[in-house]
Amino acid sequence: MIQEHSAKGQHNLNGSKQSNTTVNISEDKDSQNAGISQECEVYSKLFTYPIHLQKHVRIHSGEKPYEYKQCNGTFKRSSHLWKHEKTDSGQKPYECKQCSKTFSQAGHFHIHGRTHSGEKPYECKQCSKAFSCSSHLQRHERIHSGEKPYECKQCSKTFSQAGHFHIYERTQSGEKPYECKQCSKTFSCSSHLQRHERIHSGEKPYECKQGSKTFSCSSHLQRQERIHSGEKPYKCKQCRKTFSSFSRLRLHERIHSGEKPYECKQCSKTFSDSSTLRKHERIHSGEKPYECKQCGKTFSSSSSLRLHERIHSGEKLYECKLCSKTFRQSSTLRVHERIHSGEKPYECKLCSKTFRQSSTLRAHERIHSGEKPYECKQCSKAFSCSSTLRAHERIHSGEKPYECKQCSKTFGHSSHLQRHERIHSGEKPYECKQCSKTFGRSSHLQRHERIHRGEKFYECKQ
């Protein structure tokens, strides 16, 4: 039986307008429990109760019948309005007895409690993966189903999560409604603000049970746990490459599609991910919000700070399975592994030269374009890549932050330290494919390869 049902909201708070979105509902009686399944005909999704369908229909219609008068914010559900009112008032009545953290919502309080207990009561029926809250399970299930119910009305791009959809909308509009009370920095989503506030507070509530390392956000903990387990559940459909996080898969997929949805408003340069855009924007602003507590050095990105902190600690988490060499960051390990595999996935579209790293490709492309976007503030000399600028700035400052642990010699550049360390270790990672001779430096291998090719670049002009 097909029944026509109005998706008009049940309540009309503060005189907000309601739309009369109408959908067809399929009613399917269950023989065992005589229940009625309500079906959304846009995605054929089934609901047990009409009220659940009404809430779901607002995803498609965009209707937000609940309005908060103080900020003119509108919401699809009365519960979302109620939550927003609590956040706006600063009221946090729920306190964790273990760490004294307070919450404005009971749901967030209960989910936080599972961080301490490790409880994950929600299990995926397809892959048995467990989650601490039902919304994370629902989000995960869309990986299996491929469902993307949230669509951008401007460009028709679809999303599997409402959060990603709203963040994308704010990226397009430039809206940043969440402001840090300490430094007035604004953010497009509340989770980014919460993560930023932990920079000020130093709070790291997420602890790895294997190594006792703590993290400021849950995604970093999950990433760390997958380092221990080796789990890579996210697979690229085009090249079958696997990833430990969904965000890395999305970023990788943009290599295939060439998509760069994030644009710098000052210079119109586009980027494949928002974090790289934010990092780039700091080139224009000169902002360096991340400070090392040991030496006071400041950085434009948290990843640069974490990498720098490992210089002080000597920590090298990432190990090559082929040669047991260890690295401070996973990206350096991935680049190193390409030495063994010979993989060079990044190709220059102008001359077809291939590279192991995307950054090396970008630096190479600037040879063709002549672009030198990185300028020294002391002598105005310009450079094609940021690392060359940083190395140059150390000429002015005299800084040599990289120290050899065996002989205490210091260097202005990490690559110079790595090269020097090979003198002590005797390591020669660069091998000639024609005669198997090995070298400690890539430049020595390149010079040697010219012997086989018979190349003679240098001519005496006299």
Which range, 105-114, 156-165, 253-262, has the best average confidence (pLDDT)? 253-262
For 246, residues 6+ apart whose C-beta sits below 8 A from its C-beta are: 143, 234
- For 163-172, what is each residue's pLDDT tens digit? 788 888 887 7
Is residue 27 situated within a structural domain? yes
- Number of domains comprising the chain: 1
Query: Which of these ranges, 33-47, 229-243, 247-261, has the smallest mean pLDDT?
Result: 33-47
Do the beta carbons of residue 370 and residue 344 sit within 8 Å? Answer: no
Please state whether beta strands 298-299 and 382-383 pair in parallel, antiparallel, or not at all (unpaired).
Answer: unpaired
Q: Residue 104, CB half-sphere, CA atoms under 13 Å: how many?
A: 13
CATH number at residue 76: 3.30.160
Is residue 293 situated within a structural domain? no
Is residue 238 situated within a structural domain? no
Amino acid 88: pLDDT: 66
Is 398's pLDDT higher than 60? yes
Burial of 15 from C-beta contacts in 10 A (0-12 / 13-18 / 19+): exposed
| pTM flag (> 0.75) | no
- For 137-151, what is each residue's pLDDT tens digit? 888 888 888 888 888
Comparison of pLDDT for 223 and 398, the residue scoring more: 398
- What mean pLDDT is predicted for residues 96-109? 83
Is residue 3 situated within a structural domain? yes
Give the model's confidence band at 20: pLDDT under 50 very low, under 70 low, under 90 confident, else very high: very low
Query: Which of these ranges, 74-78, 187-191, 358-362, has the smallest mean pLDDT?
Result: 74-78
Is residue 19 situated within a structural domain? yes
Is residue 174 situated within a structural domain? no
User: What is the extent of the structural domain holding 24?
Assistant: 1-91
Is residue 15 situated within a structural domain? yes
Is residue 186 situated within a structural domain? no
Query: Which token pair is 325?
Result: 């060499």
Amino acid 18: pLDDT: 39
Amino acid 15: pLDDT: 36
